[in-house]
Every structure is written in structure tokens, then in C-alpha cells.
Amino acid sequence: MTTQRYRIDIAYDGTDFAGWQVQPRHTTVQGELEKALKQLCGQHVRVEASGRTDAGVHARGQVGHFDWPERTQRPDRLLRGINALLPDSVRVMKLRSVPESFHARFSAVGKEYRYFIDNGPIRQPIERFYRTWVRDPLDVVAMQKAAALLEGEHDFAAFAANPNREIDGTTRTIYRLSVTQKGSLLTIRAHGNGFLYKMVRSLSGYLLRVGRQEVQPEMTQTILQSKLRTARVPTAPPEGLFLWRVFY
């Protein structure tokens, strides 16, 4: 059957989802998208993404693709049709036809994630699903020193939740890992050629430990070289994490 491949740029609030990937008896982002497409064309249409996000993790710039049964269909109408059937927490922001050679995951050359931290004395209630609250004072300069040591190409096995499941190994390149502060808001930006399972939350969890002065920045190289996941690298909570952009 002849099909047309479409790329979609997706934004979603991950609060009420069990992550991206379809799971039995759970509401997922992929599941909602595929449900909407089935209602439009009467058959199952598989949506592939640039990568999975965990339960509670959000996306501003997730990218996916699907193969649509060949029909006369204007992209703008298809976009409106999909969004009309999606819950308010998910939206396809852009839709355009692409060659069959495009693959949301395998064509990607990099990603940017952002992790937001509310470092105020009292948690802002309206931000509770989108920022991780840390009441303890944080040493931002120490966090920045540790972040700089994590930039570049390294074996990040110590920052993977399950390094043994990584088919392509555990070596990745981080082009930029920064920590900035504006008032009580701290933002961790991670831009790399790829990330391991829960790696960004692990990097964020580690930088928070450094910020609390529980680990010195100078320990970063030792932790990387150990290639062992220990309590020094906790997994930060999901609500502060956003998949910000995928690069092609």
C-alpha cells in the first residue's frame, strides 16, 4: 500500500501520562496520538518518536513520524483533525510531509533537554508539576564547575539508570551542560548527541547533590571513570524535565 510519511512536532504535559510508549491499561502520549489517527483513517497508524519520555516528563519539542494511507489530504486539515481528537494535554504543533528516508529517531543528530528547579523557600503551587522544588540553598557556582567537567565525550555508564540495556554502548557527547539562575529559578540545559536511559535526570540529580555540597565538583572525573552507578548519582524527580528540542 502506498503511504505518505509525515513528520510531527509535538508538545505535551506529561503529568497525567505513564510516559510516551504505549502500555496496556495506561494512558500514554503515543497511545493518544495513535488513537486519534485511527479515528481519522479507520486503521491503526504507528507513531514513532525521537525517543521515549518517562512518566511525568514533559515535552516542548518532541518529534515523531507516521505513515499515512495514501489519500488526498491537506497537511493543515490533517493537523486540525488530529488536534481536535487529542486531550488538551497534547498538541501536534507542526505537521509536514517528509521523504520515507526520514526517521524521527534514527535521523536525529542531537537533543536538548531542560530541567527546571524552584529553589525558593516555599513551593510555588502553580509550578508544582513543571519544576522540581528544592528548599535547601544551592551552591550554583559548584554546580557550574561540575557541569563543565561533564561536557565532552565520556562513558556515561555512571549516569545511566540501566547501562546494561544500552545497545549502542554508554559513550555519549555532551556539547553543552549549563546551570543558570534567575531569581529562585534554576535551569539546567543539556545538549548532546544522545542520552542514555534517565541520563538527564541522573545528571540533574548529581548536580543537585553538588549544589547541596554533599559531593565536591572535583569528584566528577572519578565518578565518570568508575563507570558504576552509586548513590552519589540519584535520579532527579521527573516533573522538572522537558524534552526541549530535537536536532536533525
pLDDT tens-place string over residues 6-34: 999 999 999 999 999 999 999 999 999 99
Q: What is the pTM of this model?
A: 0.95
Q: Where are the domains of the chain?
A: 3-97, 110-247
Nearest residue to 242 (alpha-carbon basis) of 151, 112, 70: 112
Cell of 82: 488530529
Q: Checking DSSP bridges between strand 152-155 and strand 48-49, what pairing results, if any?
A: unpaired
Establish whether domains 3-97 and 110-247 are of one fold: yes
pLDDT tens-place string over residues 65-74: 999 987 667 8
| Residue 196 and residue 206 in contact, taking contact as beta carbons nearer than 8 Å | no
| Residue 150 and residue 72 in contact, taking contact as beta carbons nearer than 8 Å | no
Residues 151, 173: Cα–Cα separation, whole Å = 7
pLDDT for the residue 74: 87
pLDDT tens-place string over residues 50-106: 999 999 999 999 999 999 987 667 899 999 999 999 999 999 999 999 999 999 999
> Class assignment of domain 3-97?
alpha beta
> CATH classification of 110-247, choosing from 3.30.70.660, 3.20.20.70, 3.90.1170.50, 3.40.1160.10?
3.30.70.660
Tell me the catalytic residues: 54
pLDDT for the residue 72: 64
